[in-house]
Structure 1
Amino acid sequence: MFGIPKRIKAYTGRFSLVDGIPFKLPVAATRSPALMAVFPINADKAKDFLPQGIHPLRLWRSALLVVTVIDYRETPIGKYVEYSIAIACTHGAKPAPRLLPALFMNFFKTGQYVVDLPVSSEISVKGGKGIWGMPKHQGNLNFNISADKVSSQYDLNGKLVTYVEIDKPARAWLPLKTRASNYCSFRGMLMKSDILLNAKAGIGLFGGARARFVIGDHPRLQALKALEIGDALATAFLPSITGILDDHIESWFLDSEQLPKVAPEGFESVIDLGLSEAWLAPPSAPIPQQDEDEQTQLKRGVA
Structure 2
Amino acid sequence: MFGIPKRIKDYIGRFALVDGIPFKLPVGAVNSPALMAVFPIDAEKAKDFLPAGIHPMRLWTKGLLVVTVIDYRETPIGKYIEYSIAIACTHGAKPAPRLLPAIFMKWFNTGQYVVDLPVSSEVSVKGGKGIWGMPKHQGHLNFKIDERTVSSQYDLDGKLVTYVEIDKPANTSWPIKMQASNYCSFRGMLMKSDIFLNTNFGFNLFSKAKARFVIGDHPRLQAMKELNIGPAMATIYLPSITAILDDRIESWFLTFDQLPKKAPEGFESVINLTQSEAWLSPPDAPIPPQ
1:65 match? 65
Q: Which amino acid aligns with 1:21?
A: I
2:158 match? 158
Following superposition of structure 1 onto structure 2, how do residues 231-246 of structure 1 map, counting pairs within 5 Å?
231-246=231-246
Following superposition of structure 1 onto structure 2, how do residues 259-298 of structure 1 map, counting pairs within 5 Å?
259-290=259-290
| TM superposition shift of 1:2 | 3.0
Q: Which amino acid aligns with 1:166?
A: I
1:297 match? none
2:200 match? 200
Q: Give CA deviations for 1:99-142 in whole Å, capped at 9, x if unaligned.
A: 00000000000000000000000000000000000000000000
2:109 match? 109
Q: Which amino acid aligns with 1:270?
A: V
Q: Which amino acid aligns with 2:25?
A: L
Following superposition of structure 1 onto structure 2, how do residues 178-197 of structure 1 map, counting pairs within 5 Å?
178-197=178-197
Secondary structure of 2:10's aligned partner: helix
1:210 match? 210
1:172 match? 172
Unaligned runs of 5+ in 1: 291-303
Higher share of residues assigned helix = 1
Q: Give CA deviations for 1:69-121 in whole Å, capped at 9, x if unaligned.
A: 00000000000000000000000000000000000000000000000000000
Aligned-partner Cα distance in 2 for 1:9–1:110: 24
Deviates more, 1:89-98 or 1:3-12: 3-12
| TM superposition shift of 1:33 | 0.1
Secondary structure of 2:31's aligned partner: strand
Give runs of ≥4 in structure 1 deviating > 3 Å.
Answer: none
Q: Which amino acid aligns with 2:11?
A: Y
Q: Which amino acid aligns with 1:28?
A: G
Q: Give CA deviations for 1:8-64 in whole Å, capped at 9, x if unaligned.
A: 111111110000000011000000000000000000000000000000000000000
2:79 match? 79
Unaligned runs of 5+ in 2: none
Aligned-partner Cα distance in 2 for 1:289–1:63: 27
Aligned-partner Cα distance in 1 for 2:199–2:16: 26
Q: Give CA deviations for 1:142-171 in whole Å, capped at 9, x if unaligned.
A: 000000000000000100000000001122
Aligned-partner Cα distance in 2 for 1:251–1:164: 31
Secondary structure of 1:106's aligned partner: coil
1:96 match? 96
1:138 equivalent to 2:145? Answer no
1:296 match? none
Percent identity over the alignment is 79
Q: Which amino acid aligns with 1:40?
A: P
Tell me how large the CA RMSD over aligned residues is.
0.5
Aligned-partner Cα distance in 1 for 2:46–2:11: 40
Q: Which amino acid aligns with 2:23?
A: F
Aligned-partner Cα distance in 1 for 2:46–2:226: 9
Aligned-partner Cα distance in 2 for 1:251–1:3: 24
So what's the TM-score if we normalise by structure 2?
Answer: 0.99
| TM superposition shift of 1:173 | 1.8
Q: Which amino acid aligns with 1:281?
A: S
Count how many residue pairs are aligned between Structure 1 and Structure 2: 290
Aligned-partner Cα distance in 2 for 1:133–1:240: 26
